[in-house]
Structure formats: C-alpha cells, structure tokens
Structure 1
Amino acid sequence: MGNYDYSGYVPYNYGYTSPYMSGMNASNMQGGQQTADIFTFPQNLPNALDLIQQALAGETEDRLFYSWLIENAPSDEDKQIISGIRDNEIGHYALFRQLYSEITGVMPQQVQGEQFVIPESYCAGLSRALLGEQNAVVKYRNILYAMEFREHINMMIEIITDELRHGILYSYLYTKNGCRG
C-alpha cells in the first residue's frame, strides 16, 4: 500500500497520436519534455517485468492489510465486500506469476515487499486501500502496454477492471461509514 505519488497522473490520451495532429508527436511528449514511448513493444517490456515483480512483492503485506480491514470492519456487509476483494487479489497474484513465467520462461523470484503498518482507523484503512487501488491501475496499465499476446492482454484487462471495481467498492464503504479525509 505504501506511499502515494499524486504527481504521476498521466492524461487519458497520453501517447495517442491522432492522424489529425499533423507534425505533432504526442506519443513522446509530456509537459513539453521528451519521455519514453510507453506504447512501444518490446522496448517497454523490461519495465513491465519490474512492475510485475513489484506487484508480487506486495503479497504478504496485502494479505495482512486485508485481514486487518476485515477484522476491523463494522458490519457483515463490509466484511463480505473486503473478503471478496481479497479473494480477487489472491487471483491476481496467480495471474501475475503466470504472466511473468510465460513471458520470461522462469518463475518470478520471491522478493520482500513493504512492511505492514497498521492504519490509524478503519476509515484510514479504507482510504489507504482506495488510493492503493488507484495506484495499482496506473502501474498495471503500463504492464498492459507491454503485452504482445491476446491472452496476456486479456489477463491484464481482467486485473485492471477488477482494480477499478475494487476502488468503487472501497469508495462505497468509505462513504457508507461516514469517513472524512
């Protein structure tokens, strides 16, 4: 879950070069500065593999976090929603392992992730979860850009749409429980 960087926002159309934008190269411009083309395969594959390993590294911390949220949830509905999200995340872990091994031909190495830090409150935990889902979508979108095969693209779309749905569910719980930032 960790620290959040809000400055990494990339506009929806970042990287898209419209055929109507003659002479402009939007695919490598951001804020007037030259950037790597995130849509170019296979040049972006090493970064995607690093991001997959980062996603796998957070597994232990994530499981502790979800357990804490479930234990501190004030209602059965909250517990059921968070349990469903946790179960989806366990499935994502398996998909990331499969992706990594199919792309590289080797199983990913176990890497230690961040240390679990107990949230100050249930609402603070929901806030952390909501921001974590948002940050995951940004990272996972970059992995998606590096996928070459339809099966891998479909796996990433499943993971990303689950993360978006999780964000909506956490937002619902945050509002339902009267949390304030």
Structure 2
Amino acid sequence: MYYNEYGSYGRYTYDQTTPFTSIMDTSATVQQTQTTDIFTYPQNFQGALDLIQHALSGETEDRMFYSWLLEHAPSDEDRQIISGIRDNEIGHYELFNQLYLDLTGMMPQEVTGEQFVPPESYCDGLARALLGEQNAVQRYRKILYAMQHRVHINMMTEIITDEIRHGILYNYLYAKNGCRG
C-alpha cells in the first residue's frame, strides 16, 4: 500500500543529486517537480520555503483532525496524549511562521490545505496520524538541510524531534487500543 511518500530511507550519497519535490503552488492542487540537490545550499532553499508553506497550509485540517481524534478517544490517557501532541503542533505552526518570516522578511501566504475527511474509526485515525508524523519527518529534514543559522537549525531540530516523539506516542496508542492493520 502506498502512503504519501512512505518508504525506506535508503542510503544517502552526498555527492549525487536527489529529486526534491516542491509540493506547493498557489492553487494547492498542482504538483511541480524540480530536481535539485537536497543537501546543497542555496539550491535547496526554494524547496525548503515551499515545504514550510506546505507545513503551514494544513492548519485548519489538522485542528479538525485533532478534534475528531479527541472526540473518539476511548480513555482519558488517550485524550491527554492527543491533547499534548495537538498543543505541540500549534507551537510548530508558530515556529514555521517565524522561520518563514526570518528567511524571507515576509509573512507566509495563506494557502488552503486539504479538506478534512473523517477517519472510518479511531484506529484508522491513529494509523493516519502515525503515517503523517513519519511523512512530516521526511519533509522537515529537507527544510533542515537548507538552514544556515544555528537558531533556525535548532528550531527545525525541535520540530523534527517532536514529530518523532509524536510518532512513538501514536504507535503506543495504536498498540494499546488493539488496532490491527
């Protein structure tokens, strides 16, 4: 089954170029592909800005998703964990806004994200969240590679390590609730 860029990390070869996919445009429906070296600044800078815009574009959908998960969570522990993750994600939104402003001198453009589609079950929601965290880590590393200043590197490290921790927590909830793939 194919899950939005889900796959193995594979070996990195730093002296070869790797496709960098820009996933944003003004309509948020057209995908553009530009091949560039994801490890080399400044070639990777525009792609990183596009990925920051993408991270900011899903805020409304994300909030609806977290509300849905909280409504369907079967225990106080589940609700507490999901609320903590939601609060971290709100903080990430602010960090991405600040990062974009620092890098461009402009506030990011408002871009409409995806439409919220409720999961079929709580377990399906946890699976979606777990894969979403995995995919976020892969995208956010590409942003990290384009950062030149320690403060920005630290901001991205904070976000990425939170996303990894969120994945672990969703995996815990998935197992705790007896979810099956």
- Per the shorter chain, which TM-score range? 0.7 to 0.9
- 2:84 corresponding residue in structure 1: 84
TM-score normalised to the size of structure 2?
0.87
* Bigger-Rg structure (1/2): 1
Runs of 4+ in 1 over 4 A off after TM superposition: none
- 1:38 corresponding residue in structure 2: 38
Q: Cα distance, 1:109 vs. partner? A: 1.1
- 1:114 corresponding residue in structure 2: 114
1:79-115 deviation digits (Å, cap 9, x = unpaired): 0000000000000000000000000000001110000
Mapping of residues 58-97 of structure 1, within 5 Å? 58-97=58-97
Aligned residues: 164
User: Structure 1: which 5+ runs fail to align?
Assistant: 17-24
1:17-40 deviation digits (Å, cap 9, x = unpaired): xxxxxxxx4x3369xxxx632110
1:105 aligns with 2:87: no
8 A contact 2:36–2:43 mirrored in 1: no
- 2:9 corresponding residue in structure 1: 10
The separation in 2 between residues aligned to 1:113 and 1:88, in whole angstroms, is 19
The separation in 1 between residues aligned to 2:52 and 2:18, in whole angstroms, is 25
TM-score normalised to the size of structure 1?
0.87
1:136 aligns with 2:153: no
Q: Percent identity?
A: 72
Q: Cα distance, 1:168 vs. partner? A: 0.1
Q: Aligned partner of 1:49: which letter?
A: L
User: Structure 2: which 5+ runs fail to align?
Assistant: 20-34
8 A contact 1:56–1:93 mirrored in 2: yes
Q: Cα distance, 1:56 vs. partner? A: 0.2
